[in-house]
Structure formats: C-alpha cells, structure tokens
Amino acid sequence: MQQNFIQVNKKNLKSLGPTEAIVLGFLMKQYERYTESGEKNGGWVQASVINIQEFTNFSKYHQKKAINKLKECGLIETKFGSPTDQRYVKINDVKLLNFLGGI
C-alpha cells in the first residue's frame, strides 16, 4: 500500500512549488527502494520519464522543468545512461538537509 504514496515535505512544497516537491518526493522514494534492495550504485537511481509519469502523471515537459529547478537549487544531479533515454538522478543529501533547515 505504501508504494502508492509519495511523501511531500511542506517546506519543499512552499519553497520549490508543488510539481518540484512531488518529483523530489518520488526521487527520494526511488532512492529508498534502491537502498533497501541492496543496490547502492553510488547513490544514483533510475528516473526515466515513463517511471515518473506513471507515479505522478506529470508530462515530460513538467518533469524536465521540475528537475531543472531541483538541479538549479543543487538538490539533485542528473546523468544519462544507455540507452540514452535512461535518466539517473542523485540526491545531494547535504544540500537537501541544509535546505530543510537541518531537520
């Protein structure tokens, strides 16, 4: 049941906007799922357009806009793997904690 929910931090919602906060919540859930399964991969998690769209219903355009804002804030990094449509994201834990005020 828990896999049907995305946690959204209220501060992120106010500071970043709803789309960005939801995308960040999804990315954090992906990271949690990867680490629980034992996959470390240097903190990089798969975040394809299709995966994000399945969970959030955000179009490719809205995803790109949200991810770019999260990158500008320094909260995430992105890279592309093979095949080229495979996007990987790494959450910057230190910056995220600082952004949230150290909680």
Q: What is the pTM of this model?
A: 0.86
Contact between residue 59 and residue 53 where contact means Cβ atoms under 8 Å apart: yes
Rounded to a whole number of angstroms, the CA Rg of the chain reads 13
Does CATH number 1.10.10.10 belong to domain 2-99?
yes
* pLDDT value of residue 1: 39
**Where are the domains positioned within the chain?**
2-99
| Residue 76: burial class (beta carbons within 10 Å; 0-12, 13-18, 19+) | buried
**80, HSE (Cβ side, Cα atoms, 13 Å):** 4
CA-nearest of 11, 7, 12, 56 to 31 is 7
- pLDDT tens sequence across 52-99: 999 999 999 999 999 999 999 999 999 987 766 688 999 998 998 888
* pLDDT value of residue 103: 53
